[in-house]
Amino acid sequence: MAVPFLVIGPEAAKAAVPKKATGPNINAPKGGNLVVNLGAEPPTLHPITSTDGYSTQVRGLVVETLLTRNATTYEWEPQLAEKWEISKDGKTFTFFLRPQATFHDGKPVTAEDVKFSLDAIFDPKYEAAHMIPYFDGIDREKTQIVNPTTIKFFAKNKYYKNFDQIAGMLQILPKHIYSDVEKSKKLNSTVVGSGPYRLDKFERGQRIILKRYEKWAGAESPNLKGYYNFDTVDFKFIKEENVQIERIKKGDLDYISLGTEAYMKKPKARCRVKQFSKSKSKTQLRRVMLLLPGTFAEISLRIVRFVKHLLI
């Protein structure tokens, strides 16, 4: 498998960088447009039936999970759920949703939506067999809706991954949109979530544009302040790596991911290479190649900020 290389363009690196990277700049200005190369056009954006990595990247900014990982400590932190509890036996997980959370169509996010999001994966009509193994450790029959903003999940056995999958992998979807299976299957060019960005345009063969969701409930959460500051994120579908390199050199792109072969053949440029992992518990490393001037420390901080913006 090719090692990915993340490349940041010159225009995207103009933002000031703090001297020490202890977290995001909570006073960072909001605005601007981030242009990212997706690599290929997603055949569908449907959050249940899609299986490709391209749609996953887009949905990562549109659809939320209950919790998120701290990029430095890898500890769980609030996202759609503002708090949570784990029983002493490690088999019962209670999540408390943000009461002000809404989907992008203005409807409130409720425990019913959370329960539906899990049940839909096991509904054969959705043909989402690829997702079932991740949640097979949860006893769905026992799922309990305590009130509109509180839900309890029960694990079949004590296993740490049961909580991890429910907390950080289950995409919370609006039941009122996706519960009609046949109708929702036709929604290939749209996706509705509760995340920091909403889908604005899907221009087949050209691009996907996301706009910052002004009513995003997570905006006031202390652990999420300083992230998702771009007004828009513009995903392009450029497959040829040589074209990607030329476009980023010209400033037409802010971010691309190169395969090993393309990286080795890259044109000469002033660059820095750094290996890093998103968390201490992950052994897989990514190389970062930045076609930018600046010190190694400055470049390291820039890539951390971009990863936080894009991959959280």
Q: Where are the domains of the chain?
A: 1-39+238-312, 40-231
Do 63 and 172 meet the contact criterion of CB atoms below 8 Å apart?
A: yes
Residue type, 289: M
Do you know the residue count of the chain?
312
Residues of the chain under the 70 pLDDT cut = 1-23, 259, 262-312
pLDDT tens, residue by residue, 139-191 = 999 999 999 999 999 999 999 899 999 999 999 999 999 999 888 888 899 99
In the DSSP assignment, the letter for residue 114 is: H
Best CATH choice for the domain 40-231 from the list 3.40.50.261, 3.40.50.1370, 3.40.50.150, 3.40.190.10: 3.40.190.10
In this predicted structure, what is the pLDDT of residue 310?
Answer: 45
Whole-number Cα distances in Å, 152 to 92, 144, 298: 7, 5, 44
CB 292 within 8 A of CB 302: yes
pTM score, two decimals?
0.79
- Report the side by side order of strands in the sheet with 197-203: 197-203, 207-212, 232-236, 33-37, 255-258, 5-8, 286-290, 272-276
